Structure 1
Amino acid sequence: MTRPPTAAQRRVIDAADPVSGRLKGTPAQLTALVRHGLAFRHPRPPHDHFLTPAGHRVREAVPGPPSGGPAADAPGAGADSGVFAARVGGEEDGADRGPARLREVRGAWRGLLELRRMTNPDGGTDRPCGWERAHLVRAAALAVEAAGHRPAGPGGGDGYRVRGTPQPEAVAVHAPDEATLRACAATLEQAGWQVGEHTEPRTRARYLLASPRRA
């Protein structure tokens, strides 16, 4: 993409489904987004259009100077945009486990499984898809939260925390005790992630290193 999307194209991008990235717009708008690499046309009927990872980045971009890191991986990302965001741990509202939040999380997880079905080459839902590889922290956090695990509050507490790492395609998952850590590991493995348990050299705290499984 050599130039930013037009106002009309931006409205189409902003209105995309928050999890699957499914787009609605005129044929001309959708064709233009495909031409600029912001969308793709699914090869199977009904041939819907979806955001590419580049299109997701455009939608998630916050106006202003770059922050030096992916906004989607920061705690609380999306909280002010009205778009669903899985809790990575550390958010002010992380303790909210009311019925509305539970419905949001379960709906987002169902949407992500559908996205896997539509975008994985073999239609498999047993492993992460391209969107998850482009949004590692959010994807791992959604899998963990959808399984019923509690995220940590802003002061830490008894919940999980999902954070990015310098390693490609890997996230770190921290928990306050061994039982919670192993429960999160089992959840991620069931969701199609490869998981290993490691020890932080300085503090000796145990944590998980998780990567999306490819096959």
Structure 2
Amino acid sequence: MTRPPTAAQRRVIDAADPVTGRLRGTEAQLAALVKRGLAFRHPRPPHDHFLTPAGHRVRESAPQEPAEPAPDQASAAGGGFAARVGGEEEAEASGPARVREVHSAWQGLLELRRMTNPDGATDRPCGWERTHLVRAAALALEAAGHRPAGKDGDGYRVRATPQPEAVAVYVPEGETLRACAATLERAGWQAGEYTEPRTRARYLLASPRRA
């Protein structure tokens, strides 16, 4: 069994950027994480270090930050930025500070795409998004100005599905549904409209585009 990271290494991992996984630490700390397969050094300048999928799993195993926070905990889990998936109690609270946070997170995600997609493409999702489908889709929607569902029920809700690499997006019917589909497609996702057989509710089924 692999040894757990040391306390110092754990602090570096926990302090990683919540969206991009970019690390900050001493050369010795970063080299040790690379040696253990928890981080990698990007080959292009400025040669920053990022968490590997294994490093992300370690980070998300922290008691203070569940791997998939419940909707009402999405903004409060472990501090740092959390994309609003819809249904959070505090989702209605917004303002310039939240807009700046979302913009910064989206720009960070585009940079992560550039640095981790083999061809440097920013128009399609990267590996992090494929392992964090709900949060990635929610970030794309919020960054484009869509409003997450609050207490009134209006707005989008992003939920996991049994299908691999697919999320369900529930929004009020009509133009908003089509607008969310267009937003996700511009962000590099494939989105189609479906109807639940039992409830007849319309929803989007979205998955990251590969090419």
TM-score by length of 2: 0.93
2:200 to 198, 204, 213: 204
What CA distance in whole angstroms lies between the structure 2 residues aligned with 1:132 and 1:110? 14
Once residues 135 and 195 of structure 1 are traced to their aligned partners in structure 2, the CA distance between those partners, rounded to angstroms, is: 17
Query: Which residue matches 1:214?
Result: 210
Task: Report the 3-state secondary structure (helix = DSSP H, G, I; strand = E; otherwise coil) of the residue aligned with 1:22.
Answer: coil
> Deviations along 1:172-197, whole A, 9 cap, x unmatched?
00012221111110000000001111
Taking the TM superposition and a 5 Å limit, the aligned residue runs for 1:111-122 are 111-122=108-119
- Give the structure 2 partner of residue 3 of structure 1: 3
Q: What residue in structure 1 maps to residue 174 of structure 2?
A: 178
Question: Residue in 2 aligned with 1:87?
Answer: 84
Query: Which residue is 2:32 aligned to?
Result: 32
Q: CA deviation at 1:47?
A: 1.7
Paired residues of 2:194 and 2:203 also in contact (CA < 8 A)? yes
Unaligned runs of 5+ in 2: none
Consecutive aligned runs of 4 or more in structure 1 exceeding 4 Å deviation: none
How far apart, in 2, do the equivalents of 1:177 and 1:206 lie? 7
Distance 2:196 2:69 in 1: 21
SS at match of 1:198: strand
Deviation string 1:32-81 (CA, Å, 9 cap, x unpaired) is 212222111111122211011221222222429xxxxx732631335142
- Identify the residue that residue 77 of structure 1 maps to in structure 2: 74
Which of the numbers 143, 158, 162 marks the counterpart of 2:154? 158
The counterpart of 1:188, out of the listed 157, 171, 184, is 184
2 CA distance for matches of 1:27 and 1:196? Answer: 46
CA RMSD of aligned residues (A): 1.6
* Alignment-derived partner of residue 67 in structure 1: none
Report the secondary structure of 1:197's partner residue: strand
Task: Output the TM-score relative to the length of structure 1.
Answer: 0.91
Structure 1 match to 2:101: 104
In 1, Cα distance between the equivalents of 2:10 and 2:195?
44
Inter-partner Cα distance in structure 1 for 2:46 and 2:172: 46
CA contact (8 A) 2:83 2:135 kept: yes
Q: Which moved more, 1:199-208 or 1:70-79?
A: 70-79
Superposition map of 1:13-52 within 5 A:
13-52=13-52
Deviation at 1:212, TM superposition (A): 0.5
- Give the percent of matched residue pairs that are identical in Structure 1 and Structure 2: 81
Secondary structure of 1:138 counterpart: helix
Q: Deviations over 1:106-134 (max 9, x none)?
A: 11101111111111111110000011111
In structure 1, stretches of 5+ residues that fail to align are: 65-69
Alpha-carbon distance between aligned partners in 2 of 1:178 and 1:57, rounded to the nearest angstrom: 38
Does the 8 Å contact 1:158/1:176 carry over to 2? Answer: yes
Amino acid at match of 2:27: P
| Conserved 8 A contact 1:89-1:151 | yes
Q: How many residues align?
A: 209
